[in-house]
Structure 1
Amino acid sequence: MLTTIKDVAAHVGQEVKLGGWLYNKRSSGKIQFLQLRDGTGFIQGVLVKSQVAPEVWEDASKLTQESSLYVTGTVRQDDRAPSGFELDVKHVEIIQVAEEYPITKKEHGVDFLMDHRHLWLRTPRQRAILTIRAEIIRAIQEFLDQKGFTLVDPPVLTPSSCEGTTNLFHTKYFDEDAFLTQSGQLYMEAAAMALRNVYSFGPTFRAEKSKTRRHLIEFWMIEPEMAFVEHEQSLEIQEQMLSYVVQQVLKNCERELKTLDRDISKLEKVQAPFPRITYDEAVELLHREGFTDFKWGEDFGAPHETKIAESFDKPVFITHYPTEIKAFYMKPDPNRPEVVLCADLIAPEGYGEIIGGSQRIDDPALMEERYAAHNLPLEAYQWYLDLRKYGSVPHSGFGLGLERTVAWICGLDHVRETIPFPRMLNRLYP
């Protein structure tokens, strides 16, 4: 019967057929050890010369790295094996003998591996990362679905910027100017007024000429928006969601985390509630830690976020940023209008901001003032102003950057490994 490596545990002592690829091979002369992969996992096939037909031995001898084949054999439990099982091979059916494979077990440079990203994905490490990425996505959607959120898809092509910035990819929309979205948030606010609690999940684009290990040009965002939800309740939903996601990864991706040598003790601490400090307190912390030149009103950079995170063993919310450095739609604190009701969630271990959110302005007069202060074109944003004219309510939302979250949970050095085909400042291939 045709099965997968993932499911061999259910077939111990039985003969099965696997379709896969040869990841590696070694031979002692009388035994061939076939390292097999099939997309669901890895297993070693043991082929004993004296126990198979001569043509089976010969066919196995022809196999090169990444050759495709069907293998038939008996599943045997083996606690020494990484997967816990081995396959006593009885028959080999070659589908294709692969050409000389460019990625070998020797050390390769990053540029070489990125040029061969379409093949690099086949390695155990990359498979583990993408499996964990898929689990993170599944867990986020499961959490939000269970909380009564509705998935809504905002447009990728937009007539204007979400935050009034210039870091946008410009294109022509027939005879009009258009841009690739940098956030679906404004459209999700409209959806929240129709469906109450909503979220989007899709690609976003930022034309920032940044080369840091935290930045991609194209990345994926989960953006919930919630009607009748104020700042404090939004923070509770964020920490509950992230706690749920991390615990689901620990539960369902134990083998993948082991492949990555991830220290799971740090992830086990990620349970709500999370610590919270204000922007003011964060500035004081930085001054105590030697960042004496940092001035109130500046935004935090990577070194600042890392230093702040070092004081905590969980993700930490930094709340109430200065109004002047945040987006036009964020609601000022009624008791202190020079700061807004917002928060950035900073991941531990130097991974920086993974969630940004705020309570949105619901007063139409104040929103018109912010339009004027930010010189926003009314013709592009009139529809957004309409949301405050026809049944405005308190509402909040946030955006989680998927790739930074994957990098943190997996313990990766660079976000380029968190997405199947990364788009970076100097990389559009493959």
Structure 2
Amino acid sequence: MISSFTTFFEKFPFLNSAAPYLALALAIICLAVFAVLTNIITKYMIVSAIRKIIAKSSSSRDDILARRKVFSRLSHLAPALAIYALGPYFLDDIPVIANGVTTFSLIYLTVICVLFIDGLMNAGEEIYRTYKISRTFPIKSFVQVAKLTLYFLGFVAVLSLIMGESPLTFFAGFGALTAVLMLVFKDPILGFIAGIQLSANKMVAVGDWIEMPRYGVDGDVIEIALTTVKIRNFDKTITTIPTQSMINDSFKNWRGMQETGGRRIKRSVFIDVSSIKFCDASMLERFSKIHFIADYIAKKDKELAAFNTEAGADATTLVNGRRMTNVGTFRAYTEAYLRAHPKISKDLTLLVRQLQPTEHGLPIEVYVFTNVTDWLEYEAIMADIFDHIFASAREFELSIYQNPTGSDFGKLAR
């Protein structure tokens, strides 16, 4: 093509000396025009048509391909292919420049292919996140490893094109640098292995609530990447920790609580030991009017009366035989109240028990599960339950223990 342009310019005597240069310039301009036209046709016609089709489709997943510019990146292949195919034709008389343009077009093709595959991986990972399995088996770390491999291969391909050597030559050279590469990529390698262990053993997933006191972590996992895990704490701060630390260090995962659908309440009420006593007839009569334990009082009274009669216990003294106490009746009432509570799970453990007495009194522990896991609702339910327990203790002539306050000392002084 250059020879044809040179012959054309030589027809003009005043352009004789500049004919070869003008022919070269015209050939390059023609090649550039073809590349630009190819790019315009591909980008503004074909890609635009694809975008319109995607916009009209009912699926939202193909929108991700458009948002990640997968088709836009792919459109850049057209001008690169045009330069590669037409370069030798337009620059046939100057092999050095023709070879340089061919090499440039191959480098450009390599870069575009790398960017296209990178965008495809990003889109694929985002589409994968729309499925439920992505919570228990995230693939972000695998995608990042694939990207590292992709960019490494792209770098080797570009380097081999520039140097004019086979890629195998560079791979042989990299083999000698294995130790150095392992040192440089130590964190990505450890993170990748840790990511496989986390996913394979289902230790943690995006959306899990975890606690890791060593790092001050108490919140939801929002991202599991190649080298880091991001957690949004409940105070809205974000903590980033190394992925391998979740293998090397211990952490608490609350996923089991969320999957079970129940959240545990484990809290004690301390009873002043001096207020504990046997129930007399007037107390039992009053307690029998409490709906939750009316049946319990009647049944227990018959059971103890039969036992004391059989044992021949002297009823004139309360310590003889078996007697109901106000703290035992209070414990039975609390359990009955919890069993009737609509927000307490009946399928999980429901227990009201005594613990070992301490200097603060006798602990009555409530060990139950709510049938909701939402934090705000859980706190409201727990507060409502213990409001009722604290208030009802007086009905059983029990005193809740608390350390002396300034007002207590003031009363003593008076």
Say whether the fold is shared (TM-score over 0.5).
no
Structure 2 length normalisation: TM-score? 0.23
* Structure index of larger Rg: 2
Structure 1 length normalisation: TM-score? 0.22
Looking at secondary structure, tell me which structure has more helix per residue.
2
